[in-house]
C-alpha cells in the first residue's frame, strides 16, 4: 500500500480532506468507528420523529465554505433554516433580531457528510465504517479492535477529537505537541417526541442558565417530517458532572428540566408516556486552549507525512471542520 493515504475519522474534516485528495488522483482509505459518515453532524429517527441530535446548524463566512454551501444548496443537500430564535431565561423569550444565516442539511444534518463521502469515493480507495482504530505505529500501520492491521501507508491524517488523537499518535511523534492542552467539552443530547405540537413563540433558543443550554424544534427545519420533535442540549458543566450516567438516568433528569423550561407553554408538563432518548457526545465542543486555534487551521509534518485536522484546529463549528480538512489537503497536494 505504499503511496496510499489513510484518514482516521469520517467527520466533516476527514471527508473534506479525502474529497480534495481523491479529486487530485490520490488513493485514500478512510476509517471510522461509526455506522456511517458525519461524526457530530448526525441524525436519529424514532418512527416518524427525526432528530438532529449533534450539530444543529452551520453558518458560512469563509469564501471557500460559502462556495461549497451554495453548491450543496443548488443540489438540494442543504437549505436555509429561518427559525424564530432567541434566548430563554426564567420563562421569558427574547427574540433575536440578528441577520445570521443558518443552514441545515436536508433531510438531516448528516446529508453534507453523505455528499462529501460520495464525492470522495473512488475505485482505488476503501471506506471502512464500524472500524475502530486502536493503535498506530510508524510506517504507517493501523490496527483495529479485531486485531486487523492495515498499511503501510505513505501518509496519515488523524481527524479524531484531541483526546483520542493523543492516544492514537505515537508518543514520540511531534504531533503530540499541538495536541497539548487541546480538549473538548461533553454534551448530553435529549430527544423528545410528542404527538401534539407545543405552541411556543420560538423554534429554537439559547438558554442562559441551568442544566440545558439549547432547545430546538427539529421539525421546524426544512425537509423534516411534521411530527413534533424537540432536541435539548445539556450545559457542558452538567454534562461533565453526569458523563458516566446511564442514558435512562439522563432522560429522567433532563426531561424534568426540559419540562420546567417549557412550563409557560406546557403548564402541565410533558404528557405521560412520551418518547424520549438521550445520547452522549463525549467530545462535543472544542474548549479554548493556548492559542485557541492552530495557525494554519491544521497541523502537518512533511518529515513524518502525518497530519491533524478537525474543528478543534479551527475554532469549532462545521465550517471550521470543513476548512481544516480542506486546507490540510491543499498543503499536502502543494508538496506532492
Residue 217 has pLDDT above 70, yes or no: yes
Average pLDDT, the chain: 94
Q: What is the pTM of this model?
A: 0.95
Domain 5-43+109-181+293-334 has CATH 3.40.720.10: no
- CATH assignment, 78-108+184-286: 3.90.660.10
The share of the chain scoring above pLDDT 70, in percent, equals: 98
Length of the chain: 336
CA 305/CA 298 separation, integer angstroms: 13
Domain positions in the chain are: 5-43+109-181+293-334, 78-108+184-286
How many separate helices (H) and strands (E) can be counted in the chain?
A: 8, 20
Q: Residue 147, class by beta-carbon neighbours within 10 Å (0-12 exposed, 13-18 middle, 19+ buried)?
A: exposed
* pLDDT the model gives residue 105: 98
- DSSP assigned state of 132: -
User: Which set of grid coordinates corresponds to residue 181?
Assistant: 492542552
Q: What is the pLDDT of residues 230-261, one digit of tens each?
A: 999 999 999 999 999 999 999 999 999 999 99
What's the Cα-to-Cα distance from 41 to each of 11, 110, 145, 186, 307, rounded to whole Å? Answer: 8, 5, 24, 15, 22
Which residues fall within 8 angstroms of residue 180, CB to CB, at 6 or more apart? none
Residue 76 has pLDDT above 60, yes or no: yes
CA 255/CA 52 separation, integer angstroms: 17
Q: Pairing between strand 5-8 and 28-31?
A: parallel
User: Which set of grid coordinates corresponds to residue 184?
Assistant: 473538548
Q: What is the pLDDT of residues 137-194, one digit of tens each?
A: 999 999 999 999 999 999 999 999 999 999 999 999 999 999 998 999 999 999 999 9
Alpha helices (H) along 59-201: 63-75, 111-120, 162-168, 176-179
Amino acid at each position: 500500500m505504499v503511496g496510499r493515504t489513510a484518514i482516521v475519522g469520517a467527520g466533516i474534516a476527514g471527508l473534506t480532506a479525502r474529497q480534495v485528495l481523491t479529486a487530485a488522483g490520490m488513493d485514500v482509505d478512510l476509517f471510522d468507528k461509526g455506522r456511517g459518515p458525519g461524526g457530530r453532524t448526525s441524525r436519529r429517527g424514532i418512527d416518524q420523529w427525526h432528530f438532529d441530535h449533534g450539530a444543529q446548524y452551520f453558518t458560512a463566512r469563509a469564501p471557500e465554505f460559502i462556495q461549497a454551501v451554495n453548491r450543496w444548496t443548488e443540489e438540494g443537500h442543504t437549505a436555509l433554516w429561518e427559525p424564530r430564535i432567541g434566548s430563554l431565561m426564567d420563562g421569558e423569550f427574547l427574540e433575536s433580531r440578528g441577520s445570521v444565516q443558518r443552514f441545515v442539511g436536508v433531510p438531516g444534518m448528516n446529508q453534507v457528510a453523505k455528499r462529501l463521502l460520495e464525492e470522495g469515493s473512488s475505485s482505488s480507495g476503501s471506506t471502512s465504517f464500524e472500524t475502530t482504530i486502536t493503535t498506530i505505529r510508524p510506517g504507517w500501520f493501523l490496527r483495529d479492535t479485531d486485531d486487523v492491521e492495515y498499511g503501510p501507508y505513505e501518509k496519515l491524517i488523524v481527524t479524531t477529537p484531541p483526546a483520542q488523537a493523543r492516544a492514537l499518535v505515537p508518543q514520540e511523534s511531534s504531533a503530540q505537541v499541538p495536541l497539548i492542552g487541546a480538549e473538548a467539552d461533553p454534551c448530553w443530547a435529549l430527544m423528545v417526541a410528542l404527538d401534539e405540537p407545543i405552541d411556543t413563540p420560538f423554534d429554537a433558543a439559547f438558554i442562559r442558565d441551568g442544566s440545558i443550554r439549547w432547545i430546538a424544534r427539529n421539525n421546524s427545519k426544512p425537509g423534516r417530517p411534521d411530527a413534533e420533535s424537540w432536541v435539548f442540549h445539556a450545559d457542558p458543566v452538567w454534562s461533565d458532572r453526569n458523563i458516566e450516567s446511564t442514558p435512562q438516568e439522563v432522560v429522567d433528569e433532563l426531561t424534568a428540566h426540559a419540562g420546567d423550561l417549557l412550563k409557560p407553554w406546557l403548564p402541565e408538563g410533558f404528557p405521560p408516556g412520551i418518547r424520549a432518548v438521550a445520547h452522549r457526545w463525549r467530545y462535543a465542543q472544542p474548549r479554548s486552549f493556548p492559542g485557541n486555534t492552530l495557525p494554519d487551521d491544521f497541523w502537518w509534518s512533511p518529515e513524518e507525512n502525518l497530519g491533524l485536522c478537525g474543528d478543534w484546529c479551527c475554532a469549532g463549528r462545521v465550517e471550521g471542520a470543513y476548512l481544516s480538512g480542506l486546507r490540510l489537503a491543499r498543503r499536502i497536494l502543494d508538496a506532492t
